[in-house]
Chains A and B, each alone.
Chain A
Amino acid sequence: MPNVKPEMRVIFVVILSLFTAFLFLPLLILFARSFEDEQGISVANYMSIWSDRNMIEASFNSLKVSAAAAFISTILGFTLAYAIHCTNIYRPLKSVLKTAIVVPMLLPTITYGFAIIYSLGNQGLLTKLAGRSLFDIYGFNGLLIGYVIYTLPPAFLLIHNAFKSIDKKFIIVSKLMGDGTLRSFANTILRPLIGTLGGAFVLSFILSFTDFGIPASLGGAYPVVATQLYQVMLGSIPDFNQGAVIAVLMLVPAMFGIWLLKHLERLNFHYDKLADTELPRHRIRDAAFGTISIVTVLGVLSIFAVMFLAPWLTAFPYDFTFTLKHVISTFQSSDLTRVYVNSLFVALLTALFGTLIAYSAAILNVRTSLMGRSALDIVSMISNTVPGMVLGISYLLLFNGSSLKGTFAILVLCNMMHFFTTPYLMAKNSLSRMNPSWETTGELLGDSWFNTVWRVILPNSASTVIEMASYFFINAMVTVSGIIFLVSAQTSVVASKIKELQHFGKFNEIFVMSLLIFFTNLIIKLLCDYLQKRRTVN
């Protein structure tokens, strides 16, 4: 590892200052505000929140629906990952399943709700195809479907990645040792994955519990914590102190979840070597897992099908004649195109600065011997724990009177803090696998530390940097919970505009805007995948 250079210390101080100002300080203010009332400092806000029947009901509802969604997503995520890794189903089908299941990640969660209404509501596309209303979607059922669609992709990706590090040779060994099907499955698949499955459940639970987009569109008379928080903060009589209390309470399950994730990691297996093993043929297994996976993916995609149809029809679901008027009117509306340009602007800046900060933090942590560098891991853990809504409210409380209020800068900063952890871990993982002597070699060849990073480290991690930027961009395009409290009329972005359009019942515009986000994200994703592949080939 290279000796510590002054420039390393400067970057370290800049990054820590940034997180102090835009992560720790806002959270501290939030915490302080939760204890403030007319009489001064007390726990009265906390007491009064639990005397509110609505809040108790919302908490119970949130816990119930999030736990149910997390359970279903974990089972479905596992089934899909198992079908891809441990069956002999047609290989191109595996690729299609892998790609299709993550499609919802390219859309804001607020769109999910409207897609569910237009698919499974009384006049919905799928309801019409089924010939009758399947169930009431405004409440538990709708939220459950929305949360499952939302959390299935990340749960699947987590389990899918864990499957990559399972040595399938042990399945053969287990069979040769005379294990029955169930015992073999339990010992060679379930046991090594148990930590990851627990992790997938916790992750899905936290995501569901803290999401605002889905209940905002589907909650109806079914209160959950996120909608209660929104009502208290931006309702007819805003109460910032009460809002601070709900935000702090929202942090509790997230903190518990992160703590649980850390403990679950210990249950994971680490194989020394992975053998490339051909799986034994088993037609019933392949048919069963293949069918369940196809049905799951088609089920998810069918919900979104309406989004691609409705904007092109005169008045879905009553008049199915083709028209371009909704699309044209959306593009002719200077207000909506401006909002789209705002979204692009915020996403690009988030991708640029977010990647820069996360990459620099990872370099300092992994590739220098700087004292105190492990503080960056603490920063990452805290950033991972704080839900978007909580961060948004903290910013609202701290920066309300400042010049940052209503600017693009505050949106970009909020996104950078909110989405920091995953790209930071991506960079850490990539940088730690590189030769540790490159910086020393560069120095001996006359390079400054910056030069070696620019000429050697960065080109060799280009693929990861592209992936990080893509992650920041896509998430900045779809997020609504973090920025809903921070946008102004001038800085409104697509995801927050959708919430506004919902108020006026402009669903066609909502779908056109959602399609814009979808195709923008798709183009970015394909472009980044192409660039990554090119880097790998080279």
Chain B
Amino acid sequence: MSHILKLQNISKHFDGKTVLDNISFEIGTGEIVSLLGPSGSGKTTLLNIILGLTQMDQGKILFHQSDLTHVPMRKRGFNIVFQDYALFPNLNAYDNIVYGQRNNKESASPQQIQEYIEFLELKPHLQKKIGELSGGQKQRVALARTLVTNPKILLLDEPLSALDGVIKESIKQRIQSIAREFKLTTIIVTHDPEEALTISDKILIINQGKISQFGAPQEIVHQPSNDFVDQFIIKQLHIKRQNIYNLFGEQYA
């Protein structure tokens, strides 16, 4: 698989504290990659550096071999769905979705917009105010708004953390379908190992600003590279499995 995004030796310090330390990895076209780690590990900072919102102190970002390091956020062509969606409450769902259309020549055509709306099952909710939407609906509106700008890479900051149960699973599937259907490279920030393992093609595990492991879910589960990965991911999954076993019996565990 060809590499669409390459990060080389990224470092970042805040108030003398190292937040990211020499991070290097590559992402292939159309891949879903999760940045996984505990709170304060530096994963959101890394996402913001890729987006162009935060400046790195050291390192390089290459997109299709061209250097993006000093390219401003707006000109990178990436887009993000923030954790809290950042939907504009003065506009209804539809106006939020088409907000960026008039600003970008490269944004989706009216036909494509309809396609996104149908794909995300938003048709019955288009005229609703943001306050009238459920968490899952808000997430889908935010996704549609971002897709309308035809981003070169889709960034998602904790996309499932505010959702629960069945809605969470449904949104997870939609994210996967979007990435596959539209061949859209997607980077997701999450602190939930189960979420990362079930949604991603690759996972970058970060701890205290350093890469603990980068690999496919199977690789991480079967060959944890160090104690942190073992403790943070494998132990958590074992506990979950044990809980399910206790509740439903061995066949579910």
Contact = CB atoms under 8 A, between A and B. Distances in A.
Interface of A: 3, 435, 437-438, 440-447, 451, 455-456, 459-460
B145 to A, nearest CB: 7
Contacts of A451: 103
Question: Among B73, B79, B90, B104, which residue has the most Cβ atoms of chain A within 10 A?
Answer: B90
B57 interface: no
B213 interface: no
10 contacts: A437-B82, A440-B82, A441-B82, A442-B99, A445-B100, A445-B103, A446-B107, A451-B103, A456-B88, A460-B90
Interface in B169-195: none
B74 interface: yes
B84 A435 contact: yes
B90 A443 contact: no
Contact of B149 (A3, A445, A455): A445
B53 interface: yes
B143 to A, nearest CB: 13
B203 interface: no
Question: Among B73, B88, B146, B149, which residue has the most Cβ atoms of chain A within 10 A?
Answer: B88
B86 interface: yes
A443 B73 contact: yes
B110 interface: no
A446 B82 CA distance: 16
Nearest to A460: B90
B163 to A, nearest CB: 18
B89 interface: yes
B53 A441 contact: no
A459 B89 CA distance: 9
B86 A446 contact: no
Interface of B: 51, 53, 72-74, 78-80, 82, 84, 86, 88-91, 99-100, 102-104, 107, 145-146, 149
A444 B89 contact: no
Nearest to A440: B53
Contacts of B88: 438, 455-456, 460
B103 A446 contact: yes
B104 A446 contact: yes
Nearest to B83: A437
Given A435-B84, A446-B102, 11 more contacts: A3-B53, A438-B86, A440-B80, A443-B74, A444-B79, A445-B79, A445-B145, A446-B100, A456-B88, A456-B90, A456-B91
Contacts of A442: 99
A40 B73 CA distance: 60
A444 to B, nearest CB: 5
Contact of B73 (A444, A459, A460): A444
Contacts, number: 56
B84 to A, nearest CB: 6
Please report whether the interface of chain B is mostly helix, strand, loop or mixed according to DSSP: loop
B86 A437 contact: yes
Contacts of A456: 88, 90-91
B103 A447 contact: yes
A437 B99 CA distance: 15
Contacts of A440: 53, 73, 80, 82, 86
Contacts of B53: 3, 440
B248 to A, nearest CB: 36
Contacts of B73: 3, 440, 443-444
A451 B104 CA distance: 14
Contacts of A460: 88-90
Nearest to A448: B103
Contacts of B107: 446
A443 B73 CA distance: 8
A435 B88 CA distance: 9
Contacts of A441: 80, 82, 86
A445 B99 contact: yes
Given A3-B53, A460-B89, A444 B74 contact: yes
Nearest to A462: B90
A442 B100 CA distance: 8
Contacts of B86: 435, 437-438, 440-441
A460 B86 CA distance: 13
A438 B72 CA distance: 17
A111 B54 CA distance: 57
Nearest to B107: A446
Contact of B84 (A437, A443, A444, A446): A437
A3 B53 CA distance: 7
A5 to B, nearest CB: 10
Interface pairs A-B: 7 shortest CB-CB: A446-B103, A445-B100, A459-B90, A437-B86, A441-B86, A446-B104, A437-B82
A447 B74 CA distance: 9
B118 to A, nearest CB: 21
Nearest to B105: A446
A440 B82 CA distance: 10
A493 B44 CA distance: 57
A456 B79 CA distance: 18
Contacts of B72: 3
Nearest to B155: A444
Nearest to A445: B100
A447 B88 CA distance: 13
A444 B145 CA distance: 11
B80 A444 contact: yes
Nearest to B95: A455
A3 B74 CA distance: 11
A451 to B, nearest CB: 8
Contact of A444 (B91, B102, B149): B149
A229 to B, nearest CB: 48
Nearest to B103: A446
Contacts of B149: 444-446
